[in-house]
Amino acid sequence: MGSKKNASIANTLWQLQDCLLKNNVEVILEKNIAHLIPNHRLHIQPRHQLAQYCDLIIVIGGDGSMLSAARCLAGTNIPVLGINRGQFGFLTDIASDALYQQIYDVLNGEYWIEPRYLLALNIFKNKELIHSASALNEIVLHSDKMTKMIAFELFVDQHFVMIQKSDGLIISTPTGSTAYALSAGGPIMHPSLNALALIPMYPHTLSNRPMVIDGSSEITIHIKQDVSLPAQISCDSHIHYPVSSEEVLLIRKQTSTLLLLHPTHYNYYEVCRKKLGWGSSLKSEHHSL
């Protein structure tokens, strides 16, 4: 993390601490960021224990910070609120320059909670589970050589779909449909949908197009390649794991969800307009037909 980014996050931490304490809220600071605000006099806990002590968890940063928190906090039933200090901020709703008023509104009950589901990845070798991980945005199968394609068999709910030769495959949740999947030509899916998008990355056959399937589907991938050309699986562009033709990938919806807390004014389409640069000719907030 660069020094300028550290300074901006530290400044937001000081503001957030001041706002919360003035509203008689007990504040617990995550251990890994405590050094950013010395002499804070707050209670400190490691991230994996925060859910035991907190009624609300506030994440400061960009979508990457929220993705990291999601993998740790999913299933805890503790709502998570994001303060945006990143570039896009699809998952972090509170603007840093409006922190005091928006946090005050949330503390006074002006919010709503939206569950977002994650994907669970299990990797098997000789029918034995050898690796597990989770992702809020997407799971990506790709070659670890930039100029090499990989071939794999794709099954959905044990039904054979295709053999594909491409740079890889993106399995995206609705939450992740505005992230890496979007840059690969995938569809934008509203977060309320129970759906998954399968997006081929530079497929050898042009008829291989993005496909949307039921979110409760079970996806199985068998890699058809030489051991000399290894592939990788990544979760939210963070967790990377090498895979070979001897291994089977099983991907499905995780039972636990992340509870995102939104201010009452949150509107998904407005977020898309702002973050994706969509134009609008409407002069007022409401438009009658």
Catalytic center residues: 63
Cα–Cα distance list, 73 to 47, 67, 117, 118 (Å):
9, 10, 12, 11
| Residues 151 and 225: beta-carbon distance below 8 Å | yes
Of 222, 228, 227, the closest CA to residue 250 belongs to 222
The Cα 201–Cα 154 span in angstroms is 14
Residue identified by tokens 């994706």 is: 276
DSSP string, 178-216: GTHHHHTTPPP--TT--EEEEEEES-SSTT---EEEETT
The Cα 215–Cα 273 span in angstroms is 25
> Given 3-state DSSP classes, what are the helix, strand and coil percentages for the chain, each rounded to the nearest 5?
25, 40, 35
The Cα 42–Cα 244 span in angstroms is 47
Q: Please tell me what DSSP assigns to residue 90.
A: S
Burial class (CB in 10 A: 0-12, 13-18, 19+), 272: middle
The Cα 251–Cα 268 span in angstroms is 27
The H or E element containing residue 11 is helix 3-22
